Amino acid sequence: MLDIKFIRENPELVKEAALKKRSTVDIDLLLKKDDERRDLMQKADELRAEQNKMSGSIAREQDRNAREQMIMEMTTVKNDLGKIEEDLKPVMLEWKKLMLEVPNVPDMSVPEGASDADNIEVKVVGEKPIFTFQPKDHIELLEKLGYVDFERGSKVSGFRGYFLKGGMATLSFALWQYFLEKIVAKGYDPLIVPSLVRPELLYGSGYLPQGEEDLYKTQDGEYFAGTAEVATMGMYSDEIIPADQLPMKMVSFSPCFRREAGSHGKDVKGLIRVHEFFKLEMVILCEAEHEKSVQLHEELLANVEELMQDLKLHYHVVLNCGGDIGLGQVKKYDVEAWIPSQEKFRETHSASYFHDFQSRRLNIRYRDAEGKLRYVHSLNNTLVATPRILTAIVENYQTEDGKIRVPEVLKKYINTEFL
């Protein structure tokens, strides 16, 4: 959430941000509602002050007739105040709704564009694998090895359901452990966080109201989150973090759930786009300094690149355009791994920073050197998401006879040459 003071002082900048992010929020209407809100709140404050003053006068008045007259006058003030408070309620509801729709201002380096097709490639690492045979896709490879069962997965959990068996279950555990050990050694605190979260945390982290259709909701009103970022940010909501604990670097593990409501017809088979998956997510809370956010954003990207290089996967990094970054993101990089069967890169990681957009909504603050309360800045990046990354490993490490070589760095967890 942006500060309303900032919006009032920079309406054209915020309109440009909304345009760049393909947001339809009406900034002029928001400012009009804010004028109404401010006017009604001022009147209410004046009446409350008058009411308090009259209460004191009544308490001191000795003359009975004068006191009764003052009580009648105060009743009128109280009624006027009640009417203004009633008038304020719908204005506040509309104002809050519009405020939640205002996007964060993207960094100047974010390119123009409407979708991921307009993202800009900033780096390519490694080379495409050369096969002396026609490479198979991960579905065919895993089904022949008996390492995945989509039919029974659908029977149990419906469309996009799956079971991972044998080598793929082993590979998943190995990846989680390897990635976790590497990032903890860099100073990130490990957490296991809830998937079931209250709606206010999704509003706070920016996944509601726009992302409603992609979330699973319980009959009790909670939601199943699509990333551990939501619970991790919520962990510190309404708290003041000691400044000497910043930056806080965390890596959170949880099951994740997405309805994939906007992906009809896309990746309907296989493990790239599923409803239930597992993630290790890096989350950082830091001081409210743009330069610090930029530095840590690059660190998050470097962490993932190091691990992709450890796995010897061919990948590239793209800078996401305005139409392909979320409501709260200032800037985002996607890391995409090469998928031989599709002959293209597919996203495996997303690194973002938000400035104080999330922390303002969630009320996460710290005291700066002058003792002033300020909202922290927040950042996040996928460390590893399974089963999606399995598709890249399986396809890039396949052999002509249908086996899957074990990446060298994972052999200490998987004591075999092939899966």
Contact 215, 226 (CB under 8 A): yes
| 191 contact partners, CB below 8 Å, separation of at least 6 | 228, 232, 235, 250, 251, 252, 253
DSSP one-letter code for 119: -
How many Å separate Cα 353 from the centre of its chain?
10
The per-residue DSSP string of 192-219 comes to E--SEE-HHHHHHHT-TTTTGGGSEE-T
Which residues are catalytically annotated?
258, 273, 347, 350, 388
The per-residue DSSP string of 358-395 comes to HHHHHTEEEE-TTS-EEEPEEEEEEEEEETHHHHHHHH
User: What is d(CA 282, CA 350) in angstroms, rounded to the nearest whole number?
Assistant: 10
Kindly report the length of the chain.
419
Q: Name the token pair of 111.
A: 């390119």
Q: How far apart are the first and last CA of the chain?
A: 47
